[in-house]
Structure 1
Amino acid sequence: MHQMSPEMQSCIDECLRCHSVCLSTAMNHCLEAGGQHVEPGHFRLMIACAEICRTAANFMLMGTDLHKRTCTVCAEVCEECARSCEQIGDMQECVDACRRCAESCRKMAA
């Protein structure tokens, strides 16, 4: 079993938190709010963000060096999702989770 650094465990935690927040926000808040919240580009981005966060966490848990690539993509998608959620408004929890995950993933990708 590979040795996991505290930084990697922290990144996994942030990725899994972001996955959970984006997915639940999209499926509950956005679907109920309607309007801009369910605009196809925004809604797809939230689901894509949830998926890449889960994938990045899984790659780190597997112990593969390929996690650096998934973390790079995850950070980009999280930043884009945070901007989209911020622009629409009323989704600060998602904005914060995405920004924390992006920051953590950037460190893992370095």
Structure 2
Amino acid sequence: MDATSSQMQDCIEACLSCYRTCLGMASSHCLEVGGRHVEPEHFRLMLSCAEACRASAELMLIGSPVHRHQCRACAEICAACARSCDEIGDMEACVTACRTCETACRAMAA
């Protein structure tokens, strides 16, 4: 496996991990805690982040050449989600997953 395919595998894993983390935290943690955690802007951002990550992973898995465009968008959404989760607090797992995915997706989009 060359560096490019290794980098892509790492990015796919980061995307899938972020997808699981954002969706899981939105549906279990945020819905249970309530308050700022379920404010529409934050909650929609978490769901959007999960979907962007899922789509990025899928495009890389199927070998689509447009994955770079999706990864670029995914990186921006992950950055916004990390900021939102960090601001609300008590969401360290999501912040970490988003930042890891953002870094991996920026590298793939370059």
AA in 2 matched with 1:11: C
CA displacement at 1:46 relative to structure 2: 0.1
Aligned length: 107
**1:40 and 2:36 are equivalent in the alignment:** no
Counterparts of 2:54 and 2:64, CA distance in 1: 15
Instruction: Report the TM-score, using the length of structure 2 for normalisation.
Output: 0.96
Runs of 4+ in structure 1 off by over 2 angstroms are none
**1:6 and 2:6 are equivalent in the alignment:** yes
**Alignment-derived partner of residue 86 in structure 2:** 86
Counterparts of 2:64 and 2:27, CA distance in 1: 31
Counterparts of 2:64 and 2:15, CA distance in 1: 16
Counterparts of 2:16 and 2:5, CA distance in 1: 17
CA displacement at 1:64 relative to structure 2: 1.2
Counterparts of 1:8 and 1:53, CA distance in 2: 13
Counterparts of 1:55 and 1:5, CA distance in 2: 18
**Alignment-derived partner of residue 105 in structure 1:** 105
| CA offset digits 1:60-82 (Å, max 9, x no partner) | 00101100000000000000000
Counterparts of 2:5 and 2:19, CA distance in 1: 21
> What do you get for the CA RMSD once the two structures are aligned?
0.7
Instruction: Report the TM-score, using the length of structure 1 for normalisation.
Output: 0.96
CA displacement at 1:14 relative to structure 2: 0.2
Give structure 2 stretches of 5+ with no counterpart. none
| CA offset digits 1:48-95 (Å, max 9, x no partner) | 000000000000001011000000000000000000000000000000
